[in-house]
Structure 1
Amino acid sequence: MTETEYDGPEDDRSGNDRSGSRFGAALDRLRRDRGIWRRGIVLALCAVALTLLMVFHSDIPNRIGNLGSLTETFLPWLGLFVPLLLVLALVRRSATALIALLLPAVVWLNLFGGLVADKSAAGGDLTVATHNVNADNPDPAGTARQLAASGADVLALEELKGDVVPAYEEGLAEEYPYHSVQGTVGLWSKLPLRAAQPVDIRMGWTRAMRANVVTPKGEVAVYVAHLPSVRVKLNAGFTANQRDISANALGEAISADRHERVVLLGDLNGTMNDRALNAVTSQLRSTQGAAGDGFGFSWPASFPMARIDQIMVKGVEPMSSWALPETQSDHLPIAARVQL
């Protein structure tokens, strides 16, 4: 057989594999490339800036268009810049940029790595769900049927228009014999409700309520809340003043509650990272953070980018948390299973 007929590994004439020598030659070229440390300085600075943004997000002022809260709402998405900078660093063949990228990668994993893993567990004896049904929902009856099939023991609805409340009452009546509607929020339950009443969140009309759910293991105080929407105004940027006032009022109500077991269901128009919700988040645990699988984004339903709908608890143990299938609303319904 001649050399031209040989189809085996690419060998030199002595029979040694050339692939190892090519790899060694590539390493040698990198060692001799003095620019590998000088290139990509701008990319390295971008990596450092990204790191500082994630570490010190709570120090970004809200005085200018609530910039701090806006950053915190979409904080997990800053992680997308890490693979982007990685590709650019590889294209530039910059060791400096690659090493600098370790900083934002480690910080992001420290902040959100725990959310990526599945923390759900079997068990639990109470399933709760919440859904902003959208005041302009074109199919309230269909949405009610979907929610009735969710299996939740307790169901909270927000953004209820007065003229469509009967559609939800009719669609949920068979599965949920107990319910109370206060203003634009409502609570439906398979278990008896007691002492249902509105909660003043300083809006001038009712968008929050509280009721005791009577379970076989005792009563649970359940709050339903729909905090005001965050607005983007041309002359003021991202504004959330009324939302912040209402969040503080809700936090005060929960703080004054004497029940040891509390569940908060609702559309808070803010994420767990948003400092404006500290009055609430400092007292309660997120079921998604404690027992969810992934980030559990709930809005917008067509392409969820943030979890502004929340299930939060105190005095009960979260076992699992998940998003329910899309309805005709612009929010996804979410659910959680807790152990009393």
Structure 2
Amino acid sequence: MSGSGTTGPRTGTLRGWRPVLRRRPRPDTGGSSRWARGRVLAVSAVLTAALLAFHSAVPNTVGRLGSLLETFLPWLGLAVPLLLVWALLGRSVTALVALLLPAAVWGHLFGGRFLAEGRGAHDLTAVQHNVSDENTDPAGTVGTLLDGSPDLVALEELTPSALPAYEKALATTHPYRAVEGTVGLWSKHPLSAARPVDIRPEGIDESWNRGLRATARTPWGDIAVYVAHLPSVRLGWKGLDSGQRDESAGLLGAALADERLDRVILLGDLNSTVDDRGLDPVTSRMDSTGRAFAFSWPASFPVSRIDHVMARSGTVTNVRTLPATGSDHLPVAVDIGLDRASGRDRGR
């Protein structure tokens, strides 16, 4: 009896018993992954901010990486929305906070270029345009350039065959001109002392003539006007090939440094942006370059402003592009306010 009584309950107990297994906690791979993604995104955001703020620290010794970065520096801001989407998908608060840093740096550097500039008080209007040596419509191109009635018109890539057409189209409105090689200047105001400016890099033939200087005699006094077309750059597997452009910029900068007139206007295709250190010999000699983006190249999808109007003892405002012509560049028009305290011969 006692055996059966003992066995019965045990058997019943065993039948109803189910082992309770404690599962070993799984590693929080999802959380760890999100944290890892957060750290990667945060580091990427800090690196983006560092490149924006300290771009001049990127060396130019190998492939001119510094100049390459600076040529397209505003576009580095695209990293912010891309990282933002990534951070939102990863639900990383750390990354979202870190993204405030590159956003703030980009806004400090370039945010002002979005501010609209009206046509306020100014003394001169100037237009700069690389017309392209393949342009088949000089008359139509000039018609676009004259919209806004500019005082000065600078053209590059003039060919001997196309030059007469440009001269004819501009003769009525801009009777004064100076042409040297493939660059030219047309003016509503009398021009004098026109001469070539030698900006040839070493090893370039003397027939390569892409710089000029003339004195414009305006109601506000004499102004030295320079027109220049610096050598093109090439992007290859070795990096940015801008050696000749940089050398030519150095020669142009030296000419600007030697200029005796206080008021100077420079117009030209400089084949880079004002952020590129390769243009430092030029930009350091001028007071104003205009703040707007006004991307001018390539005309089909502009990503960079390599066409410039700069001023010394004056302020460049209302920088804008004009409609496309038969060129691969867009024309750039600006207003210029002259410094009333200048207009003197600087002397030596």
> TM class, shorter-chain normalised?
0.7 to 0.9
Where does residue 58 of structure 1 map in the other structure? 56
Work out the CA distance in 1 between the residues paired with 2:148 and 2:170: 11
* 1:265 aligned to which of 267, 271, 283: 267
C-alpha displacement of 1:208: 0.6
Work out the CA distance in 1 between the residues paired with 2:272 and 2:57: 18
Q: Kindly, what percent of the aligned residue pairs are identical?
A: 55
Where does residue 71 of structure 2 map in the other structure? 73
* 1:46-84 CA-partner distances (Å, limit 9, x unpaired): 111211221221121222222111110000001011011
1:217-236 to 2 correspondences below 5 Å? 217-234=220-237, 236=238
Work out the CA distance in 2 between the residues paired with 1:151 and 1:119: 18
Determine whether 1:254 maps to 2:268: no
* 1:147 aligned to which of 145, 148, 158: 145
**SS class of match (2:193):** strand
1:308-323 to 2 correspondences below 5 Å? 308-323=306-321
Where does residue 17 of structure 1 map in the other structure? none
1:114-133 to 2 correspondences below 5 Å? 114-133=112-131
Where does residue 5 of structure 1 map in the other structure? none
**SS class of match (1:163):** coil
**SS class of match (1:288):** coil
* 1:135-168 CA-partner distances (Å, limit 9, x unpaired): 1112222212322344111100011112111111
From the CA coordinates, give the structure whose radius of gyration is larger: 2
Work out the CA distance in 1 between the residues paired with 2:301 and 2:121: 30
Where does residue 158 of structure 1 map in the other structure? 156
Judge which range, 223-232 or 199-208, deviates more.
Answer: 199-208
Work out the CA distance in 1 between the residues paired with 2:311 and 2:124: 12
C-alpha displacement of 1:35: 8.1
CA contact (8 A) 1:296 1:322 kept: yes
Where does residue 279 of structure 1 map in the other structure? 281
The runs of 5 or more residues in structure 1 that have no matched partner are 1-32
Work out the CA distance in 2 between the residues paired with 1:232 and 1:38: 35
* 1:271-324 CA-partner distances (Å, limit 9, x unpaired): 1110011011112134422xxxx4111111111101111110011233422111
TM-score by length of 1: 0.85
Work out the CA distance in 1 between the residues paired with 2:235 and 2:32: 49
C-alpha displacement of 1:325: 1.3
Judge which range, 70-79 or 111-120, deviates more.
Answer: 111-120
Where does residue 288 of structure 1 map in the other structure? 290
Where does residue 212 of structure 2 map in the other structure? 209
Judge which range, 264-273 or 116-125, deviates more.
Answer: 116-125
Judge which range, 104-113 or 253-262, deviates more.
Answer: 104-113
* 2:324 aligned to which of 315, 323, 326: 326
**SS class of match (1:168):** helix
**SS class of match (2:110):** helix
C-alpha displacement of 1:233: 3.5
**SS class of match (1:122):** coil
CA contact (8 A) 2:288 2:314 kept: no
Where does residue 238 of structure 1 map in the other structure? 240
CA contact (8 A) 1:286 1:310 kept: no
CA contact (8 A) 1:160 1:184 kept: yes
Letter in 2 for 1:251: G
Where does residue 167 of structure 1 map in the other structure? 165
* 1:112-148 CA-partner distances (Å, limit 9, x unpaired): 1121212445111211111000111122222123223
Judge which range, 302-311 or 136-145, deviates more.
Answer: 136-145
1:83-102 to 2 correspondences below 5 Å? 83-102=81-100
The runs of 5 or more residues in structure 2 that have no matched partner are 1-30, 339-348
C-alpha displacement of 1:267: 0.4
C-alpha displacement of 1:39: 4.6
**SS class of match (2:223):** strand
**SS class of match (1:202):** coil
CA contact (8 A) 1:54 1:107 kept: yes
Work out the CA distance in 2 between the residues paired with 1:114 and 1:80: 17
TM-score by length of 2: 0.83
Pairwise CA RMSD of aligned residues? 1.7
